[in-house]
Chain A
């Protein structure tokens, strides 16, 4: 579990450090936002920051971009100490959560801004702008002003404006939050392909777990400025270190005993009738709990079965696929069993 395979598919490439955050703390006035944080991000990696609102994700990105300075600690970018370097001297670009588009410029001028600052030749500017306009499906809006566009369109301009610079590190603060499902799926794919194709380093913030799980090489789960877990998506999902992580990502059932908590995902819970014949009983482990079905909710590919455990008020949820033997209905008595390999123990 402790072995980390951050970069699936590129294991043979040497993992070079791109960003190192060393003993970072951040205070706003007397508010300690980030108590003490160490994090290394590798070249070509897609790293996602996941955490509840206000946990310090944006603050972290801003410090990497140079828009905020850490109260203590050091930031290294490509082996160079950039802790006190101003943003305009860092080869890092940010897609802002609030877009921050320039209202007096057209979409095209917005996107071109970074290239102009870097004095990229005009020909190349044109090419690169055209490329990102195509990628973000903004070609028809190139001459519009930001305030004449919808939230989703503006968000795509913000992505294009950062992306066009090909920075060493791209910081994306919930870059797809305002988009509809279809467009979001498309852009997820495009961004991922681009990142992988060009070997860019992405630090990505999202509230969408599915997005985090499908796109990332590595996920960092934060809570109140502290890293709760730092692993590849598979490990994060199947082997959460803490209750917080288990709760925050996906649905989880918690079974408390004297000094530990068992976490079991709903799809790992199996149900059987309270009384079975001997032959059937032998086919699976003995039920650890019994209870009564309180509700069955149809979710398309699955049924979510809610069960109140005997001798407690706790309700657990199990996912049942339709190819399972039986469809359950409320008030039925059930036994709940699972395989030992699907148990995850957490201590806090």
Chain B
């Protein structure tokens, strides 16, 4: 026991130096004030949080939520069939399938975002092709709008949905589907009644990953959304870099973090009530 504690000590030390302490600093700064030139003044104030309630910021917050919800739903709709397909491949093809899903991770995300710009811009690959084919006369404006942001988000976060769903489908006991079929369930019904509920933990995990990641995303709106679209991620980034308003940026970060935490807690709650049926165990008596 003592040994075990000793062995986790380095990890604990690492975590507290590089994770807990910075977090505490951010919390402290979020309650601090600042001079007009961006100097932090350590005095206790809740102004930074109250400022968040201004319509401008609430609007950005709402936009961010909407984008996150759409991204999540879209990645579920696209990711589930993909994950299902990979999980049902013959064993030797599953690994290559997963690697294909993960290959984009090997390239820096910023570079991948600029790749999309090259593809979609007015003199880009798609427009050039469509014009050469004579399908359009004028180049389409495909960048710097909400659709472009959505596209980038979905592209960036799809793997985070596919992987956990894949794991849950792969773990599903196929004999349960045989039993369902034996009891008169058509393949579609068996999917609805057996596969879907039993892979829900995978969907939930993917949802958490994608939703939280998209809340904090700033590269995509920056690169593909142009000046027009700002999400919370960009707002925070701006406070720390351009506006040099660290206290406000910190407050926004904390709001985001608390929201993510709440979501994760809700996720575990839901998971527990689904799995354990612990509440049902009353009648064990």
The answer to whether A102 touches B277, judged by C-beta atoms less than 8 angstroms apart, is no
Of A113, A114, A145, A165, the residue contacting B277 (CB under 8 A) is A145
A residues in contact with B182, CB < 8 Å = 65-67, 87-88, 92-94
Interface residues of B, count at CB 8 A: 23
Query: Does B185 lie within 8 Å of A88, measured CB to CB?
Result: yes
Given known pairs A100-B173, A100-B175, A102-B176, the reply for A143 and B283 (CB within 8 Å) is: yes
Q: What is the CA–CA distance of A265 and B277 in the complex, to the nearest angstrom?
A: 54
B141 at the interface (CB under 8 A from A): no
What is the total number of residues of chain A having a CB less than 8 Å from a CB of chain B? 29
Residue B280 is within 8 A (CB to CB) of chain A in the complex: yes
Q: Once the chains bind, are A117 and B189 in contact (CB under 8 Å)? A: yes
Check B175–A106 contact: CB distance below 8 A.
no
Mask, A109-136, CB within 8 Å of B = 1, is 0000110011000000000000000000
Q: Which of B183-213 contact A (CB under 8 A)?
A: 183-186, 189, 193-194, 197-198
The chain A residue sitting closest to B177, CB to CB, is A100
Point out the residues of chain A lying under 8 angstroms from B185, CB to CB. 88, 113, 117
Overall SS of chain B's interface = helix
Question: What chain A residues lie within 8 Å of B284 (beta carbons)?
Answer: 144, 148
- Report the bound CA distance from A87 to B180 in whole Å: 9
Kindly identify, within residues 162 to 178 of chain B, every residue whose CB is under 8 Å from any CB belonging to chain A: 173, 175-176, 178
B274 touches A (CB below 8 Å): yes
Cβ distance A120 to chain B, nearest Cβ, rounded Å: 10
In-complex Cβ contact of B186 among A88, A103, A143 (8 A):
A88
Residues of A within 8 A of B173 (CB): 100
Interface membership of B6, Cβ < 8 A: no
Q: A67-B181, A145-B280 are in contact. Are A96 and B274 (CB under 8 A)?
A: no
Question: Are B183 and A96 within 8 A (Cβ)?
Answer: no
Give the docked Cα–Cα distance between A144 and B189 (Å).
24
**A-B pairs with beta carbons under 8 Å apart, 20 shown:** A65-B182, A66-B181, A88-B183, A88-B184, A88-B185, A96-B179, A98-B175, A100-B173, A100-B176, A102-B176, A103-B176, A104-B197, A104-B274, A143-B280, A143-B283, A144-B277, A144-B280, A144-B281, A148-B284, A165-B184
A-B residue pair count with CB separations less than 8 angstroms: 71
Q: What are the residues of chain A within 8 A of B184 when measuring CB–CB?
A: 88, 114, 117-118, 165
Interface residues of B (CB under 8 A from A): 173, 175-176, 178-186, 189, 193-194, 197-198, 274, 277, 280-281, 283-284
A161 in the interface, Cβ–Cβ < 8 Å?
yes
* Separation of A52 and B128 alpha carbons in the complex (Å): 71
7 nearest CB pairs, A to B: A117-B184, A100-B179, A114-B183, A87-B181, A145-B277, A100-B175, A88-B181
How far does the alpha carbon of A93 sit from the alpha carbon of B185 in the complex, in Å?
12
Contact A102:B175 (CB < 8 A) given known A88-B182, A114-B184, A143-B283: no
- Complex Cα distance A106/B276, Å? 11
Q: CA separation between A210 and B111, bound complex, in Å?
A: 73
Contact of A144 among B181, B193, B198, B283 (CB under 8 A): B283
Residues of A at under 8 Å CB distance from B?
Answer: 65-67, 86-88, 92-94, 96, 98, 100-104, 106, 113-114, 117-118, 140, 143-145, 148, 161-162, 165
Complex contact B181–A113 (CB within 8 A): no
Are A93's CB and B183's CB within 8 A? yes
Residues B178 and A67 in contact, CB atoms below 8 Å apart: yes
Cβ-closest chain B residue relative to A86: B181
Known contacts A88-B181, A114-B184; is-contact A148 B189 (Cβ 8 Å)? no
Question: How many Å from the CB of A1 to the closest CB on chain B?
Answer: 38
Chain A: minimal CB distance from B71 (Å):
28
Residues of A within 8 A of B183 (CB): 88, 93, 113-114, 117, 161-162, 165
Contacts beyond the supplied A67-B178, A67-B182, A144-B277: 11 A-B pairs with Cβ under 8 Å: A65-B182, A94-B179, A96-B175, A104-B197, A113-B193, A117-B185, A140-B283, A144-B281, A144-B284, A148-B281, A165-B183
A92 to chain B, nearest CB (A): 8
* A69 → B minimal CB distance (Å): 13
Taking CB as reference atom, which chain A residue is nearest B279?
A: A143
A residues within 8 A CB of B186? 88
Question: For the complex, what is the distance from the CA of A252 to the CA of B190, rounded to whole Å?
Answer: 49
B210 to chain A, nearest CB (A): 24
Q: Closest approach, in angstroms, between the C-beta of A337 and any C-beta of chain B? A: 54
Chain A residues whose C-beta falls within 8 Å of the C-beta of B194 in the assembled complex: 102
Query: Bound state CA distance, A104 and B200, in angstroms?
Result: 11
Question: Which residues of the other chain, B, contact A65 by a CB distance below 8 angstroms?
Answer: 182
Complex CA distance for A87 and B280, rounded to whole angstroms: 32
B283 touches A113 (CB 8 A): no
Residue in A closest to B181 when the chains form the complex, CB atoms = A87
CB distance from B29 to the nearest CB of A (A): 46
Q: Which of B179, B181, B280 counts the most chain A CB atoms within 10 A?
A: B179
Residues in A neighbouring B280, C-beta threshold 8 A: 106, 143-145, 148
Most buried by B among A88, A140, A145: A88
Q: In the assembly, what is the distance between CA of A118 and CA of B193, in Å?
A: 14
Q: Kindly list chain A residues whose C-beta atoms are within 8 Å of the C-beta of B179.
A: 94, 96, 100-102
Question: Which chain A residue shows the least CB distance to B200?
Answer: A104
Q: Chain A residues with Cβ under 8 A from B178's Cβ?
A: 67, 87, 96, 100
In the complex, chain A residues whose CB is within 8 Å of the CB of B277? 106, 144-145, 148
Most chain A CB within a 10 A radius of its CB, from B178, B182, B274, B284: B182
CA distance A67 to B175 in the complex (A): 10
- Assess the B281–A104 pair: CB atoms within 8 A: no
Tell me, rounded to whole Å, the shortest Cβ–Cβ distance linking A40 to chain B: 22
